[in-house]
Chains A and B, each alone.
Chain A
Amino acid sequence: MSERPQRQRVVLAHRRGARMVRTRVEVQEQTPVGDALVRGLVRAQLGLALRLGAVLVLLVGAIPLLNALFPGLGAVTVFGVRLNWLVLAGLVYPLLYGVGWAYVHLAEQGERDFVGVVDAEP
């Protein structure tokens, strides 16, 4: 009678690869867990877009409002240019780019985090 092979202990670290595939598949096959993950991502990205959109609307919307409330404000000159022209023809554009830049970076960060969660060890 030959000797039985010795019992081997299964090490936790070996499960890593198997688990990674499982979570991915859950997202891809729309299991309840996967669906919840997708919903979370959509909510986060929408929240981000709405927050930045609100910031923009408040800042840009303030321009005509301030002008209506304080008609003298537009007549202030900075470096020989009237404030209303300086804001509308100049300063608004860096603001637009800045909001866009923030969105691109935060949205990509959100996606990286999501992939991180999906591929992470349990």
Chain B
Amino acid sequence: MTGSPLTAAALLAAAVATIAIGAYGVRFSRTTSDFLVASRTVGSQWNAAAISGEYLSAASFLGVAGLIAKYGADALWYPVGFTAGYLGLLLFVAAPLRRSGAYTVPDFAEFRLGSTRLRKIAMIVVVVICVFYLVPQYQGAGLTLKTLLGTPVWLGPVAVGAIVLTNVVAGGMRSITFVQAFQYWLKLTAVAIPALALAGLFLADRGGDLGGPLPPTVQQDTTVAIDTDVVVQVTEPAGITVTGVLDGRRVDRAPIGAPGRHELDAGATLSLAAGAATPVVAGTPSSGREWIASGGGLGGEHPMYQVVSIMVATFLGTMGLPHVLVRFYTNPDGRAARRTALAVIALLALFYLFPTLLGVFARLYVPQLLITGTADAAVLLAPGSAIGGAAGQLLAALVAAGAIAAFLATSSGLLVSFAGALATDVLGGRVRDFRIAAVLGGVIPIPLALAASGGLELSRSVGLAFAVAASTLCPLLVLGIWWRGLTAVGAGCGLAVGGLLSGVAVTVAVAGGVDDDLAGGWPAVLIGYPAAVSVPLAFATMIVVSRVTRSRVPADVAQSFARMHLPENLGMGVERLPRS
């Protein structure tokens, strides 16, 4: 698809609105506290919208629908987990963390355990999680601009990086609060209207059978260009012809051959006649019956383990995401922090209804996406392909605006956390240091996003960032808040064990992963879904090492506990600020 002017205009409008609202917010940003925690004055309604706006990243906006189109029922666990994470945060972290008066996660570590070395370790963990999370956002931006406008892949990361940097450098937290709240509503509109339009279309023509024995079929003659080498599963070869390298031989307009697996090299084109059954990427469910049933997993072996690990990573990972936590520090008090978390659950539940619908309709109306494996583009292409004419173009433009909002909001939030941690712990903690750190954080992920193979779907790479957060900051916060026995040594060892296990897994997975067939599939599935192993190990390490170093429990632990758990009206609260 080449760029329609309407889509380009919508992308531009979303970007300009982001900068303009940010610029409006800059007028209120003066002090370091404004930059880091918006001077702790954000009410729970605004805050919930801002948190949701920030949280709904490329993974939610594009990735969830793509995964559902590709894998079916088991992909539904991702949005459930992304929402349930806020319940975990609400139950175990929200109010005490806010009452601790800390302004970043490393600051909490120092407040609770009184160790500047632990503070540095926590800072490194925060920086690593932010980078792991920023890379898929930038990748998504590259994919979107390429899909919609045909621009080179590098343009997306560079453009998103530049816009985000402008806002964050200029106004910090105070300014992005407005931007993110606006972006939640923009994203909701951008995903809800196309989803409802497609639902209307589906109910009107009842096109296609989702749960039938056949793969999805294309409705008109379709040509698909293969960009990277891919193995496809063909169920019904009638009507499929290939030009290019098929199974290692060069062919020209030849039929694809017998049902089964076929290799297509980059540069090949696949032609599907109207009504032909679409081949799907090998390892994904090809018939409607497999797709609609639960228990099939997300490719690879051991589907039950995959689901459990996704739930562990997302349920516990949200409370370890620095860009989410940093927003909780902006609540006026602990009670508001709880109400914010509850409101976020409602806003997310509302949102995720629509990507689910879009994923289902994408399988029905743009099944050709299932061939190349770039199912992440489903949300972008489904409305335009299913509904022709001006209405379809308008919907496509709206979706494009929502997608760009998704990258911008999440990247801004990540950058603020990255810069907050780096500026206060490595640099001097002044506003100028915050800006320098933000520039660093905005630029580093650009080459990484371009280098990453892109073989993982967006939701899965973001899910891996959750796994790192769940294996590091989650045990630090949960044990720090509820267990008096935690020591700085124990926390440091736990962070190291959890961080190394999950970090290595993520790096290997992003770099290409392990062969699915090796040793019964366990290595591949452990690398792809590390949380169910790394999280318990991180908790266990923290507890065991803390018991061994029991003599080093901080002397002021009673004081810290009183401050974290007593309601504010007893007058124990102290707001911490960077010393500078």
Q: Do A and B come from one complex?
A: yes
Query: Which A residues fall within an 8 A CB radius of B?
Result: 24, 27-28, 30, 34-35, 38-39, 41-42, 45-46, 49, 52-53, 56, 60, 64, 67-68, 71, 74-75, 82, 84-85, 88-90, 92-94, 96-97, 99-101, 103-104, 107-108, 111, 114-115, 118
Task: Specify which chain A residues have a CB less than 8 angstroms from the CB of B111 in the assembled complex.
Answer: none
Contacting residues, chain B, for A56 (C-beta < 8 A)? 84, 87
- Chain B's closest residue to A44 (CB) is B565
User: In angstroms, how far is the closest chain A Cβ from the Cβ of B556?
Assistant: 9
User: What is the CB-to-nearest-CB distance from A4 to chain B, in angstroms, rounded to a whole number?
Assistant: 43
Report the contact-size class of chain B (Cβ under 8 Å from the partner). Answer: 35 or more
A-B contact pairs, 5 of them (CB 8 A): A68-B295, A84-B294, A94-B349, A108-B338, A115-B570
- Which residues of the partner chain A approach B92 to less than 8 Å between Cβ atoms? 49, 53
Within 8 A of A (CB), among B338-381: 338-339, 341-342, 345-346, 349, 352-353, 356
Q: Which of B84, B307, B311, B342 contacts A101 (CB 8 A)?
A: B342
Are A27 and B562 within 8 A (Cβ)? yes
CA distance A107 to B98 in the complex (A): 15
Grouping DSSP codes into helix (H, G, I), strand (E, B) and loop, the B interface class, with mixed when no group exceeds half, is helix
CA distance A99 to B294 in the complex (A): 25
From the candidates B76, B295, B342, B349, name the one contacting A104 in the complex (CB within 8 A).
B342
B493 at the interface (CB under 8 A from A): no
Does B77 lie at the interface of the complex (its beta carbon under 8 Å from any beta carbon of A)?
Answer: yes
Complex Cα–Cα for A72 and B339 (A): 40
Choose from B77, B83, B569 the contact partner of A96 (Cβ within 8 Å).
Answer: B83
**With contact pairs A67-B295, A103-B91, A108-B335 given, residues A97 and B346 touching in the complex (Cβ less than 8 Å):** yes
Return chain B residues, CB-CB under 8 Å to A94.
Answer: 349
> Quick check: B356 and A107 within 8 Å, CB to CB?
no
Residues of B within 8 A of A101 (CB): 342
Is B91's CB under 8 angstroms from A53's CB?
A: yes
Q: Which residue of chain A has its CB nearest to the CB of B350?
A: A93
Return the CB mask of B152-170 against A: 1 if under 8 Å, else 0: 0000000000000000000
Interface residues of B (CB under 8 A from A): 73, 76-77, 79-80, 83-84, 86-88, 90-92, 95, 211, 292-295, 304, 307-308, 311, 335, 338-339, 341-342, 345-346, 349, 352-353, 356, 482, 558-559, 561-562, 565-567, 569-572
Closest 3 interchain pairs by CB?
A93-B349, A88-B76, A49-B91
Point out the residues of chain B lying under 8 angstroms from A46, CB to CB.
482
A77→B335 CA distance, assembly (Å): 42
| In contact, B572 and A28 (Cβ under 8 angstroms) | yes
Nearest chain B CB to A35 CB, angstrom units: 5
Tell me the total A-B contact number using a CB cutoff of 8 A.
120
B338 touches A104 (CB 8 A): yes
Evaluate contact between B293 and A74: CB separation under 8 angstroms: yes
CB-CB nearest in chain B for A35: B558
Q: Are A93 and B567 in contact (CB under 8 A)?
A: no
Q: How far is A35 from B571 in the complex, measured between Cα atoms in Å?
A: 16
Query: Shortest distance in angstroms between B328's beta carbon and chain A's nearest beta carbon?
Result: 14
Alpha-carbon gap, A108 to B567, bound state (A): 9
Contacts of A100 in B (CB 8 A): 86-87, 90, 341-342, 345
A71 touches B565 (CB 8 A): no
Contacts of B341 in A (CB 8 A): 100
Tell me the bound Cα distance from A46 to B86 in angstroms. 17
Q: Is the CB of B562 within 8 A of A89?
A: no
Q: Are B83 and A93 in contact (CB under 8 A)?
A: yes
Does A85 contact B345, Cβ atoms closer than 8 Å? no
Q: A28-B562, A60-B311, A82-B292 provided; 19 other pairs, C-beta below 8 A?
A: A28-B572, A35-B558, A38-B558, A42-B561, A49-B91, A85-B73, A88-B73, A88-B76, A89-B76, A89-B353, A89-B356, A90-B353, A92-B84, A93-B345, A93-B352, A96-B345, A100-B345, A108-B338, A115-B570
Contact of A64 with B307 in the complex, beta carbons under 8 Å: yes
Q: In angstroms, how far is the closest chain A Cβ from the Cβ of B211? A: 7
B561 touches A38 (CB 8 A): yes
Tell me, in angstroms, the Cα distance from A71 to B289 when the chains sit together: 13
B348: nearest residue on chain A (CB-CB)? Answer: A93
Report the nearest A residue to B292, measured CB to CB.
A82
Residues of A within 8 A of B566 (CB): 27, 38, 41, 114
